[in-house]
């Protein structure tokens, strides 16, 4: 082999991996969430793990840009603008105010819902089977979920006559939850009391008022304010010795009495699959929105014992997980 041909071949051999690397697509995901990455770490880890299984590895061919208003929704327009400037290939979003803010801001960037309660009722998508537009993904509510929550709370507190219901009523989802609670409670002989909470101070006042109003138990919704004040709410429930049922398992894991909710980790797992399909060319308008298929009842026996509650064996047997 002549020297010139050898050098040409060597140069081509060395350059090829560099050219291949330069041509590797780096996918960009923006995430708009109701809670910080720390508070959302289990769901976020599940989402990333599924993406890795599908071939998208953060730091190699994937970049994730994460934002959360950390409570006050007044920050949403600014955060949405930041995420759009990131020029993402897809935006993953949780929460009704969050997805509505994105819908107002863009009709072109594909959006995947990781957990949005009522996307059809709130006008996010046209229908579950044919979402239309640029938004698809996972719904997180079922028609009877609040009926079951109230029934579980009545089962663990049989003498309950009055129940507090907490949530940030600026969120359309909280209005939906409250309507379902109002419909379910009378059949169980329960008077529900509504508490609109938008800050830590609101939460402290709500528990003080509930305790002074002969409330025997608390039903806690799920929204941005509730999620960022998770530990405070659990502490307040313990301080006022009020049994509570929560709308996400992370509350029971952190010391709350019980939770009944969709399996959010499964929703994030499925959201990663939606992202993969969009990366491969699918249009959000053609991907039907999925309803939650897995729900879980989690009981914290340590908290039950601290409250002096004897959990019925029949309820323990139906629990998906018992924390001891």
Q: Give yes or no: residues 128 and 167 share one domain.
A: no
Q: Give yes or no: residues 32 and 43 share one domain.
A: yes
Contact by Cβ (8 Å): 216, 192:
no
> Residue 30: what pLDDT?
98
42-71 average pLDDT score: 96
CATH number for the domain that contains residue 218: 3.40.50.2300
pLDDT for residue 2 is more than 70: no
Q: What angle in degrees, to the nearest 10, is found between the helix axes of 96-105 and 76-85?
A: 50
> Residue 223: what pLDDT?
87
Give the tens place of pLDDT for each residue, 207-226: 999 999 999 999 999 888 99
Contact by Cβ (8 Å): 36, 30:
no
Q: Give yes or no: residues 185 and 127 share one domain.
A: no
Q: Give yes or no: residues 306 and 183 share one domain.
A: yes
Q: Read off the pLDDT band of 8 (50, 70, 90).
A: very low
Q: Give yes or no: residues 153 and 136 share one domain.
A: no
Q: Give yes or no: residues 155 and 246 share one domain.
A: yes
Task: Provide the domain count of the chain.
Answer: 2
Q: Give yes or no: residues 178 and 300 share one domain.
A: yes
Q: Give yes or no: residues 187 and 312 share one domain.
A: yes
Torsion over CA: 234, 237, 240, 243 (sign)? negative
Residues near 137 by beta carbon (within 8 Å), at least 6 away in sequence: 92, 93, 111, 112, 113, 114, 116, 271, 274, 289, 290
Kindly state the tokens that stand for 176: 């939906």
Q: Give yes or no: residues 180 and 315 share one domain.
A: yes
Q: Give yes or no: residues 125 and 159 share one domain.
A: no
Give the tens place of pLDDT for each residue, 240-292: 999 999 999 999 999 999 999 999 999 999 999 999 999 999 999 999 999 99
What's the first-to-final CA gap in the chain, in angstroms?
A: 75
Domain that holds residue 8: 3-141+264-294
Q: Give yes or no: residues 211 and 272 share one domain.
A: no
pLDDT for residue 10 is more than 90: no
Q: Give yes or no: residues 53 and 112 share one domain.
A: yes
> Residue 9: what pLDDT?
54
Instruction: Give the C-alpha separation, 292 to 279, whole Å.
Output: 23
């Amino acid at each position: 082999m002549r020297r010139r041909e050898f050098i040409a071949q060597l140069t081509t051999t060395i350059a090829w991996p560099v050219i291949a690397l330069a041509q590797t697509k780096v996918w960009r995901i923006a995430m708009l969430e109701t809670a910080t990455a720390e508070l959302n770490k289990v769901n976020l880890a599940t989402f990333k793990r599924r993406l890795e299984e599908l071939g998208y590895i953060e730091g190699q061919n994937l970049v994730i840009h994460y934002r959360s208003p950390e409570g006050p929704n007044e920050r949403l327009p600014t955060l949405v603008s930041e995420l759009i400037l990131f020029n993402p290939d897809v935006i993953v979003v949780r929460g009704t105010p969050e997805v509505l803010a994105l819908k107002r801001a863009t009709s072109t960037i594909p959006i995947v819902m990781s957990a949005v309660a009522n996307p059809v009722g709130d006008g996010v998508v046209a229908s579950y089977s044919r979402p239309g537009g640029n938004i698809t993904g996972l719904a997180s509510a079922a028609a009877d979920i609040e009926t079951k929550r109230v029934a579980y709370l009545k089962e663990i507190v049989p003498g309950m006559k009055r129940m507090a219901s907490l949530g940030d009523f600026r969120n359309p989802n909280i209005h939906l939850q409250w309507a379902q609670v109002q419909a379910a409670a009378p059949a169980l002989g329960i008077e529900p009391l509504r508490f609109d909470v938008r800050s830590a101070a609101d939460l402290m006042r709500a528990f003080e008022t509930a305790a002074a109003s002969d409330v025997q138990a608390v039903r806690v919704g799920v929204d941005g304010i509730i999620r960022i004040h998770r530990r405070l709410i659990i502490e307040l429930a313990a301080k006022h010795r009020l049994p509570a049922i929560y709308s996400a398992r992370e509350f029971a894991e952190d010391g709350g009495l019980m939770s009944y909710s969709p399996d959010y980790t499964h929703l994030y797992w499925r959201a990663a699959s939606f992202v993969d399909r969009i990366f491969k060319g699918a249009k959000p308008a053609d991907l039907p929105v999925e309803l939650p298929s897995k729900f879980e009842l989690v009981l914290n026996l340590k908290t039950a014992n601290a409250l002096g509650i004897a959990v019925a064996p029949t309820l323990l047997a139906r629990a998906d997980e018992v924390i001891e």
